[in-house]
Amino acid sequence: MAKKKYFGTDGIRGKVGDHPMTAEFVLRLGWAVGKVLASQGNNAVLVGKDTRISGYLFESALEAGLSSAGVDCQLLGPMPTPAIAYLTRTFRAAAGIVISASHNPYYDNGLKFFGTDGKKLPDETEFAIEAMLDQAISTVDSAHLGKVARLGDASGRYIEYCKSTFPSGGRLNNMRLVVDSANGATYDIAKRVFRELGAEVIIIGCEPDGLNINKDCGATAPDNLRAHVLLQRADVGIALDGDGDRLIMVDNRGEIVDGDELLYILAKAQSEAGPVEGVVGTLMSNLGLEHALNEMNIPFQRAAVGDRYVMELLEKNHWTLGGESSGHIVLLNQTTTGDGIIAALQALAYMSMTGKSLYELKSGMTRYPQVLINVPLPFKVDLDSYDEIKQAVKAAEEELGESGRVLLRPSGTEPVVRVMVEGRVASDVERICNRIATAVNDAVSA
């Protein structure tokens, strides 16, 4: 398949003001999206955003582009990415567009796209949009310009949907939660969902100013949440990222519960209701997750890093549960994309049903020590062409046996090779990882 010029694994993203994240390009992109959708007989698009300051800029540019192509646009305002996927599906819109750079700092922004089914756009549609970007912009007749309106009850609709995924009649009346919304798109919605289910909610990271999204808070920086959980003697801490599709939790002892441990907990919960077809992780998922699932006779497969690849493998296998260590949790029996709030609700429901703490529920999985070293590359290399590297990896795998794992992965965003080693003993893992990293560096330098 040909390589896309602009679309990555999660839409289009970059630094604000640098191509492609400029007002001019986003206007052209809005027009191109509109022309492709109009040619398919569709003429309504939902547009939502997170709380970063540049959202206003790109929202206006998208409006202009879509309208000039004759496509109607409904603005949702600040709204989590999974909410936009849900609303696109329920309104049967032609597409949903999210203006967000997810967990990145405020000076980045991006655009994610969902089709009318609430899933990422298919490759053929993305290729068609890129081809249209090469055409000169033309504006439809004034009588056929797209109209723009604001959808007033979007938050309420999504809140009710989130609550509907919690067991019927269930409540969180005896739970004290600390919720960190990363000063992002869930700043209002998350606290309302948990409070309406009866929880006592202490909020942090809920004062967005356009510049503080993901800054020392949220799923990518949970230390502040840990401190608040211990200070408030809370049952659970919930950390979301800037657009609400990632979840990291903190148990009552102040220990971080990452995406791998959450997958284990949710798989265990599902196994009590019936057989679990299987779970999808990624190449970076902790070996402890794989071993814990094997003990429960639950199949486990690894996808490439990225929630798009997790989704592809889930759909190929007809499975419903998958995710990443970073906290992208996909529950295809509940939603069509990663959703931090809905994933948190499923974990809380299992706590409520069993009467156990999050610490107790995760105790069946032992996280293996993991060391990651980035080795700089002077140029792009084929690692398989270096015998010294292959020999170093083979020696490491023989030493680790079935109790460890080695992964060498060239970065898709930086000129580095990521060397990752897992095993039961932290000192051994660090020593082996350093040895392989040295072998990589020496071989490439030579």
Q: Which residues are annotated as catalytic?
A: 102
β-pairing, 247-250 vs 72-78, is: unpaired
Q: Which residue do the tokens 């196994």 mark?
A: 271
99 within 8 A of 47, measured Cβ to Cβ: yes
Distance from C-alpha of 88 to C-alpha of 100, rounded to nearest angstrom = 16
CA within 13 Å, CB half, 401: 3
β-pairing, 236-240 vs 176-180, is: parallel
Burial of 240 (0-12, 13-18, 19+ CB in 10 A): buried
Q: Which residue do the tokens 């994240």 mark?
A: 21
The pair of three-digit structure tokens given for residue 425, joined into one six-digit string:
């003993």
Supply the DSSP symbol for 230. H
- Neighbouring C-beta atoms of residue 412, cutoff 10 Å: 10
Interior/surface letters 129-142, b for 16+ CB within 10 angstroms, e for the rest? bbebbeeeeeebee
Listed in sequence order, the residues at least 6 apart from 231 whose beta carbon sits closer than 8 Å to its beta carbon are: none
- Neighbouring C-beta atoms of residue 2, cutoff 10 Å: 7
